[in-house]
Structure 1
Amino acid sequence: MIRRSLFFVTLFLGLAVAVPIAIGAALSLSRGWAESWRTANWSSSHLLPDAAKVPEARVLILAARTGRWKSIFAEHLALVVKPEGATSWTRYDVVGWGNPVRRDAYAADAFWYGNRPYVAAQVSGPGAATLIPLIEQAIARYPHREAGSYVVWPGPNSNSFVAWVVRNTPGFDVELPPAAVGKDYLGPGLAVDRAPSGSGWTVSAAGVLGLTLALREGVELSLLGTTIGVDPDDLAVKLPSLGKLSLLDLR
């Protein structure tokens, strides 16, 4: 019985962890890596339109692969907001040097280590207009904003920051991408908080081991910061390195 259980655990880890990471590593290597952050492209990707041509309020979460070997496993999240009638976007990131929380340190839709961003979540119109001041209040309360508080793994890191703001902004209910390593860091020890979508709950042991059960996220097992899950709502599976793979994307 024990031998059979060990066999199935090994098979599960191989199929759900080792194989996706191997595929992710091959994809990452095929894209190529910048030699260092100094030589990487941090310019605008032109993903976002001119803010002056967007009259309504917008709230966006942008995601892009991180740099070098970390790009195999993780994406970097950034918050971008634009109040109604504003003529510029405002971007918030957390970085690993100096004071972690940065405002407009990069172009709103900047490449991250040369990797093109995409819109992971967005809210537009009156809902965004209501959220923006609440988001900025939450950013001001972020508990890991002192120099030296950033921890690349398991957190608090850049993705822990965005997830914390989402969880601590009333009405900001969005599903975060599974490759955002650190999103399930809830603090040291065992902690419970609402899932970012607001449709369930996340329990986490220092960001190393965790579980999310939610209507929108589905079932997510967080293992050493990577995510393995099933999302019936989107007919998707979530795998380490590869992120969310949905049948709906094939239409």
Structure 2
Amino acid sequence: MRWSVVGAWLGLVLVVQNGHAQQSSGRNWATAARHSSGLAPDPVRHADQAIVQVYAAPTYGWRGNFAVHPWIIYKRQGETAYTRYDVVGWRAPQVVQRNYAVPDGLWYGSAPDLLVDHRGGEVEAMIDRIEAAVASYPYAEHYRSYPGPNSNTFLAHIGREVQALQLDLPPNAIGKDYRPLSNPVGVSPSGSGVQFSLLGLLGVSVGLQEGLELNVLGLNFGLDLNAPALRLPFVGRVGMRDTPLPQATPHTQATGG
């Protein structure tokens, strides 16, 4: 484990250097693409369905090489637009944002991955619990990119409160393991297991969704048995896919509600 951590931090140094070189080449956050990725079902064509989805995309700039930004979208049966929630640090002090961007949009040039896709009658009750979890997020006016609380801390809170989501945030979702020193033990971010964590810097999680995962200085190493795979810093999961494949449905660009 010691050499794994050393190797991971050496990789981090190389990533940072490479990222600074990329930013100096002229990439600009203000002009980065943020259009629809085409992953969300057209809310008009699927007006008769309640839908919940969770996405994660590499964060902007050099940090995107080892960390992701997640968000959640949903719509109730009969609605023709999605509601999106995520935490955006530069919107402090109100970091919890509603409809900050296109529901399934690129995150400043980075295409998102679909982590969760729930549809049907039982989703209505799930949405009630999601809205309650958003309202109860304890760090709505606090943000710290490392080790948290940040956007991954927010989605982990929702995952703990709404266990029916079966949300397995990837190992490079830095901040998902953040817990205050006053409450180091509790439910794991997926809601399917238990966790011990000191400020998201040192800890362990065991759960049906995340398997066994060790956290050392925010770098996660583990083994997922639910869908066999290694859980590694920087790269995420290596092995079988445990997230839903996008369903082949007609799509037009979705708009927030």
TM-score by length of 2: 0.82
Aligned to 2:110: 115
Aligned to 2:165: 172
Q: What is the CA-CA distance between 1:216 and the residue it aligns to? A: 2.4
Larger deviation: 186-195 or 209-218? 186-195
| Contact 2:115/2:167 (8 A) holds in 1 | no
Q: Does 1:140 align with 2:140?
A: no
Aligned to 1:47: 39
| Contact 2:168/2:190 (8 A) holds in 1 | yes
| Contact 2:69/2:173 (8 A) holds in 1 | yes
How does 1:63-212 map onto structure 2 within 5 Å? 63-97=56-90, 98-146=93-141, 149-169=142-162, 171-189=164-182, 191-212=184-205
Change in 2 beyond 3 A, CA 1:56/1:33 = farther
Secondary structure in 2 aligned to 1:78? strand
Q: What is the CA-CA distance between 1:142 and the residue it aligns to? A: 1.1
Aligned to 2:236: 243
Q: What one-letter code is carried by the residue in structure 1 that aligns with 2:146?
A: W
List gaps (5 residues or longer) in structure 1. Answer: 1-8
Q: What is the CA-CA distance between 1:108 and the residue it aligns to? A: 0.2
Change in 2 beyond 3 A, CA 1:24/1:117 = farther
Q: What is the CA-CA distance between 1:19 and the residue it aligns to? A: 5.5
Secondary structure in 2 aligned to 1:77? strand
Q: What one-letter code is carried by the residue in structure 1 that aligns with 2:5?
A: L
- Hey, what's the Cα distance between the residues in 1 that align with 2:99 and 2:164? 24
- Hey, what's the Cα distance between the residues in 2 that align with 1:225 and 1:93? 21
Larger deviation: 94-103 or 106-115? 94-103
Taking CA–CA contacts closer than 8 Å with sequence separation of 6 or more, which of the two structures ends up with the larger relative contact order? Answer: 2
For residues 181-216 of structure 1, give each alpha carbon's deviation from its aligned partner in whole angstroms, at most 9, with x where no partner exists: 101112245511212333311111011111101132
| Contact 2:163/2:190 (8 A) holds in 1 | no
Q: What is the CA-CA distance between 1:140 and the residue it aligns to? A: 1.1
Q: What is the CA-CA distance between 1:104 and the residue it aligns to? A: 0.5
Q: What is the CA-CA distance between 1:62 and the residue it aligns to? A: 0.4
Q: What is the CA-CA distance between 1:129 and the residue it aligns to? A: 1.4
List gaps (5 residues or longer) in structure 2. Answer: 243-257
| Contact 2:84/2:99 (8 A) holds in 1 | yes
Aligned to 2:28: 36
Change in 2 beyond 3 A, CA 1:63/1:25 = farther
- Hey, what's the Cα distance between the residues in 2 that align with 1:19 and 1:62? 26
Change in 2 beyond 3 A, CA 1:41/1:215 = same
Q: What is the CA-CA distance between 1:232 and the residue it aligns to? A: 2.1
| Contact 1:16/1:228 (8 A) holds in 2 | no
